[in-house]
Amino acid sequence: MVDSKGTVMHVFPHRDSRDTMVNSNTKRILIIACRVLGVEEEKVREAAELARRLISESCRRDLQSC
């Protein structure tokens, strides 16, 4: 997946980058959960939901300290 500037946003299984990290200017986050052979779809959905919840909680804490 590539953004409108041509920045690679997602390469399986993951890619960390300063260009795609969450910071104080972040307005929206896209969580991509990829299933691999042998992992149940429900586990992938649970992991994506856990990521959403943890990111949301972390962002609220950071906003409250500003």
At a CB cut-off of 8 Å and minimum separation 6, what does 59 contact?
A: 22, 26
User: What is the average pLDDT value for the chain, to the nearest integer?
Assistant: 78
- 2-16 pLDDT, tens per residue? 778 877 766 654 556
- More confidently predicted of 45 and 62: 45
What long-range pairs does 30-33 form, CB within 8 A, spacing at least 24?
31/55, 32/1
Alpha-carbon distance of 16 to 10, in angstroms, equals 9
Q: Confidence class of residue 43 from pLDDT cuts 50, 70 and 90?
A: very high
63 or 57, which is more confident? 57
Q: Please determine, for residue 56, whether its predicted confidence score (pLDDT) is greater than 90.
A: no
Q: Is the dihedral of CA 3, 35, 30, 25 positive or negative?
A: negative
pTM of the model: 0.63
